[in-house]
Amino acid sequence: MNEKTIRYVPLLLIHVAIAIIVFLLPFLAKVLSLFVLFWGIIYVVKKRNKGNEVLIVAAYITGLEVFLRCTDGLIIYEFAKYGVSLMIFIGMFYSGFSKNAIPYWIYLLLLIPSVIIAAFVLNSSMEDRKIISFVISGPLCLGVCSLYTYKRMITYEQMHKILLALGMPIICLTVYLFLYNPSVRDVITGTDSNAMTSGGFGPNQVSTALGIGIFIFVLRAILQSKTNFMVLINILIACTIAFRGIVTFSRGGVITAIAMIVLLIFGVYSRSKGKAKVKMHYFIVGTLVCAFLIWTYSISQTNGLIENRYANKDAAGRVKESKFTGREDLAKTELNAFYENPILGVGVGKSIEIREAETGINAASHNEITRLLAEHGSLGILMLLILFVTPIILHLDNRANFFMFPILFFWLLTINHAAMRIAAPAFVYSLSLLKVEMGYSPRKKPRAVKHLR
């Protein structure tokens, strides 16, 4: 084993141990959330953020969020979004922020009119204030993170450290899911999303977190595994996470992970030369084989019901009327609100109230795109254009950064099925704005990928 392997394996085991301890002593989940926050602050202050340590801590908090939600470990419900924003502000104190990030200053300013409208159209009750906070916290977190990361130079190795910090807490989540529900077959009775296989929490959000975990450990298998042992470890982790993601019966996170991996493989393959390209051929074949084996095992563990789920059928094999488990009805009410208020929208959080009045459904949106249209009107369209186009324009000056498209599409696909209920879409999106140099020093020019292992 080399030095990296010696450090990596104990790190994995520590996170396995954290999951076991929290499962046995649930009250420690809140202790964990406080420890991570205060340790993160001390770590960044001690390092004075000279190596962008704030991004590592923010990534860890982001990755930990769903595990803490499953274990009732959140001090406040939006702990992760506020924690990530706090860390970024500390990073700004030491390292500043981009004054040239004009698109994101505009984006933040465009959020204001809808908040002002909400102050007039919603009641002044505590519940309505909570709704505004719940809805706006994700977009605000994204804007704050983007101001910090906009064109910020980091090295290739620093990017891997950030992604590793994001992925490690997902090890905790995966282990916890096995402890919470060791036998999938015993609890699967239909084709709906299943809270029992999702740690008792929302399958959609659990699937989202597991999806980003699948991507991170596949990425590590390709680019950060120096030995066959390390390749095997990372592939086993990715396969294990993938199985638990599939059996949540929430399709969004799994489909997003597949899209990210395809974009990653394409990006790495197109930049590979010589032996690296040959190794990629083997890896692509190996990935397909692993995917087939995971899918086959998932089918056996769910008595074939997972096939029906992805074919949009019920347990009896009948095609369901709704392809999106009724979410299109939520989106329809938001689009109607946009048509009726196309300029400034109905105000932050007002779409929830309108939906309940019209349909009797009291639920927040699963789709951030239609929510932005309903609550921000034409300003929402402008915000979406800023968020989608800016990373692509920046990529023209940093084409060696093959992380950008997988990250951008994680955000785009996730906000279509899980809105911004967790911090992951906000923080991960901001990583697409980083300028990643493919060497160990920011002064080195980007180069092609020559070594995969």
| pLDDT tens-place string over residues 43-59 | 999 999 999 999 999 99
Reduced to 3 states, what is the DSSP secondary structure of residue 439? coil
- 240-244, 307-311, 388-392: the lowest-pLDDT one: 307-311
The encoded tokens of residue 243 equal 């199985």
Answer yes or no: is 313 within a domain: yes
Domain range enclosing 270: 190-320
Which residues are paired to 439 by β-bridges? none
Sorting pLDDT into bands at 50, 70 and 90, what band is 93?
very high
Answer yes or no: is 163 within a domain: no
The encoded tokens of residue 352 equal 């929830």
Sorting pLDDT into bands at 50, 70 and 90, what band is 221?
very high
Contact 371, 334 (CB under 8 A): yes
Number of structural domains in the chain: 1
**Is residue 348 pLDDT above 80, yes or no?**
yes
Sorting pLDDT into bands at 50, 70 and 90, what band is 445?
very low
The encoded tokens of residue 389 equal 């186009």
Answer yes or no: is 234 within a domain: yes
pTM: predicted TM-score of the whole model, two decimal places: 0.92
Answer yes or no: is 83 within a domain: no
Place of tokens 């926050």: 37
Contact 342, 377 (CB under 8 A): yes
Predicted confidence at residue 188, as pLDDT, reads 86
Long-range (24+ apart) CB contacts under 8 A made by 327-330 are 327/366, 327/367, 327/417, 329/359, 329/361, 330/355, 330/361, 330/363, 330/365, 330/366, 330/367, 330/370
Answer yes or no: is 288 within a domain: yes
The encoded tokens of residue 286 equal 């190996």
Sorting pLDDT into bands at 50, 70 and 90, what band is 355?
confident
- The Cβ of residue 422 has, within 10 Å, a number of other Cβ atoms equal to 24
Sorting pLDDT into bands at 50, 70 and 90, what band is 410?
very high
Answer yes or no: is 356 within a domain: no
**Backbone dihedral angles phi then psi of residue 421, each to the nearest 5 degrees:** -70, -25
Average pLDDT score, the chain: 88
d(C-alpha 238, C-alpha 381), whole Å: 36
**Backbone dihedral angles phi then psi of residue 222, each to the nearest 5 degrees:** -80, -45
Predicted confidence at residue 349, as pLDDT, reads 83
Answer yes or no: is 267 within a domain: yes
Predicted confidence at residue 450, as pLDDT, reads 41
d(C-alpha 277, C-alpha 375), whole Å: 48
Answer yes or no: is 88 within a domain: no
Predicted confidence at residue 359, as pLDDT, reads 72
Reduced to 3 states, what is the DSSP secondary structure of residue 272? strand
Residue range 111-149, pLDDT digits in tens:
999 988 887 877 655 566 677 788 899 999 999 999 999
User: Averaged over 388-392, what is the pLDDT?
Assistant: 96
Residue 436 host element (H or E):
strand 435-437
Sorting pLDDT into bands at 50, 70 and 90, what band is 288?
very high
